[in-house]
């Protein structure tokens, strides 16, 4: 297979973990005889500094004309700490999702047996936890009508039937491939938008008689994820709720540096780690690249390269078992490995497989 991949490294630790992702991708393609061509483009604070736009037209065209996007992270403190800034790095991420029509964000939450002790939850609660958070990505308050002055502000949580139907369909189809259980998360006791979500979900559920469908208010879901994470199989929700719940889910594994994601929809899919740009660690060679590497696995699997994706996942598991880990997940007294060293170990494992 021939693949054309747009690489958007972004800000902070992005370039460091992006380099590891590309190296792993190259190793897998060598192993299986695939050809891959990379097109590099700018985004986020880096793009603002260069051209004044966090998602410039040239970057959009690069993404649009590629088979997939391997994205890393955006964000910079000089914008975070300036509430008056009119252009922000995160606007580039929202623009990419909107312009590419990426309405479905798929975030797997899973635990690793050798890292159960790193979870803030007791091992007996998180052992075996394995679920998908499916977040609607291009609607809701993030994209609704907004207003702000010195005395008042509002954000409109707008959703239409087609937007809700298409994301629910994604959730039901994923559930059919897993444990056949969908939990629709909303706030239907308070919000009109949530009542529409629940109404449409109840209309669609009979179309999937092999899937068990239940409904949960978002505050209850937040508690349930901590009390009983193994309850969930596929969780589907709107944009704002999904943003919060997926970050909560990410810490169950013990590190945000372990979890990848995919954003899919009408155009080129994007594969990225769920963590941010961690600017304080920029250039220190301490960032965990495994979420980026697992994003490569999701990319390969998206193109039905299942054996290739499985090899990447085995390499990650083997590195964790061998305690080849960056500092935040290394065992006490374990050998020191940086971002680059973990990457080289993974490439060597794939080459020898």
SS3 sequence of 271-315: EEECCCCCHHHCCCCCCCCHHHHHHHHHHHHHCCCHHHHHHHHHH
Which of 110-114, 181-185, 347-351 has the least mean pLDDT?
A: 110-114
Q: What is the mean pLDDT of residues 80-96?
A: 84
pLDDT score of 255: 84
For the segment 21-29, the average pLDDT, to the nearest whole number, is 98
- Residue 84 confidence (pLDDT): 72
110-259: CATH, from 3.40.718.10, 3.40.50.880, 3.50.50.60, 3.40.50.300: 3.40.718.10
End-to-end CA, the chain = 20
- E strand map for the chain: 2-10, 35-40, 68-73, 104-110, 130-136, 146-148, 153-155, 181-186, 212-217, 234-237, 260-264, 270-273
What band does 332 get if pLDDT is binned at 50, 70 and 90? confident
Residues 336 and 327: their CA atoms lie apart, in Å, by 7
Band of residue 264 on the pLDDT scale cut at 50, 70, 90: very high
* Confidence band of 127 (pLDDT split at 50, 70, 90): very high
Under a CB-based contact definition with an 8 Å cutoff, are residues 327 and 336 in contact?
Answer: yes
Query: How much is the pLDDT for 222?
Result: 97
- Residues that are catalytic: 142, 187, 219, 243, 247
> What is the crossing angle of helices 89-99 and 57-64, to 10°?
40
Find out whether 92 and 74 touch, Cβ atoms under 8 Å. Answer: yes
Indicate if 110-259 has the same CATH topology as 1-102+266-353: yes
3-state secondary structure of 21: helix
The predicted pLDDT at position 80 comes to 74
What mean pLDDT is predicted for residues 249-257?
A: 86
1-102+266-353 CATH fold: Isopropylmalate Dehydrogenase (3.40.718)
Of all residues in the chain, the percent with pLDDT exceeding 90 is 87
* pLDDT confidence tier of residue 117, bands split at 50, 70 and 90: confident
Higher pLDDT, 83 or 265: 265
Rounded Cα distance, 269 and 104, in Å: 10
pLDDT in tens, 42-81: 999 999 999 999 999 999 999 999 999 999 999 998 887 7
Per-residue pLDDT tens for 284-315? 999 999 999 999 999 999 999 999 999 999 99
Q: Residue 182's beta-bridge partner residues?
A: 213, 234
pLDDT greater than 90 at residue 201:
yes
Q: Is 67 exposed, middle or buried (0-12, 13-18, 19+ CB in 10 A)?
A: middle
Q: How far apart are CA 8 and CA 273, in angstroms?
A: 12
pTM comes to 0.90
How high is the pLDDT of residue 251? 86
Residue 83, pLDDT above cutoff 80: no
Contact (Cβ atoms closer than 8 angstroms) between residue 255 and residue 328: yes
Domain boundaries, the chain: 1-102+266-353, 110-259
Report whether pLDDT(256) > 90. no
Tell me the pLDDT tens digit for each residue of 69-79. 999 999 998 88
Report how far residue 350's alpha carbon sits from residue 344's, in angstroms, rounded to the nearest whole number: 10
Distance CA 132, CA 234 (A): 5
Tokens for 100, please give them: 């590419």
CA pair distance 296, 36, nearest whole angstrom: 13
Taken in order 272, 275, 280, 286, is the CA torsion positive or negative? negative
Report residue 174 as tokens.
Answer: 């994923």
Q: What mean pLDDT is reported for the chain? A: 95
Instruction: Report pLDDT for 165.
Output: 98
């Amino acid at each position: 297979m021939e693949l054309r991949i747009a690489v958007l490294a972004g800000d902070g630790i992005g370039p460091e973990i992006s380099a590891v992702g590309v190296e792993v991708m190259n190793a897998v393609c060598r192993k299986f005889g695939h050809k891959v061509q990379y097109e590099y483009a700018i985004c986020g604070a880096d793009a603002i500094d260069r051209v004044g736009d966090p998602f410039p037209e040239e970057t959009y065209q690069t993404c649009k004309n590629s088979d997939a996007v391997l994205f890393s992270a955006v964000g910079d403190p000089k914008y975070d700490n300036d509430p008056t800034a009119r252009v922000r790095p995160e606007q580039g991420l929202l623009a990419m999702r909107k312009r590419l029509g990426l309405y479905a964000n798929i975030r797997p939450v899973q635990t690793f047996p050798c890292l159960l002790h790193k979870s803030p939850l007791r091992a007996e609660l998180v052992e075996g936890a394995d679920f998908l958070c499916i977040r609607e990505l291009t609607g809701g308050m993030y994209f609704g009508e907004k207003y702000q002055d010195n005395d008042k502000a509002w954000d409109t949580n707008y959703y239409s039937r087609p937007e809700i139907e298409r994301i629910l369909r994604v959730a039901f189809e994923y559930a059919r491939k897993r444990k056949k259980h969908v939990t629709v998360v909303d706030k239907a006791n308070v919000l009109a938008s949530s009542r529409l979500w629940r109404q449409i979900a109840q209309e669609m559920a009979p179309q999937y008689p092999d899937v068990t469908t239940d409904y949960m208010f978002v505050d209850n879901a937040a508690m349930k994820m901590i009390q009983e994470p193994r309850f969930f199989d596929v969780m589907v929700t709107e944009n704002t709720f999904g943003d919060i719940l997926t970050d909560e889910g990410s810490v169950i594994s013990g590190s945000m540096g372990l979890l990848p994601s995919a954003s899919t929809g009408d155009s080129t899919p994007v594969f990225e780690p769920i963590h941010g740009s961690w600017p304080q660690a920029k250039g220190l060679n301490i960032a965990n690249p495994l979420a980026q590497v697992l994003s490569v696995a999701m990319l390969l699997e998206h193109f039905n390269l299942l054996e290739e994706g499985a090899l990447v996942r085995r390499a990650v598991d083997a590195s964790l078992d061998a305690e080849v880990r960056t500092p935040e997940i290394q065992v006490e007294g374990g050998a020191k490995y940086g971002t680059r060293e973990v990457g080289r170990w993974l490439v060597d494992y794939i080459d020898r497989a």
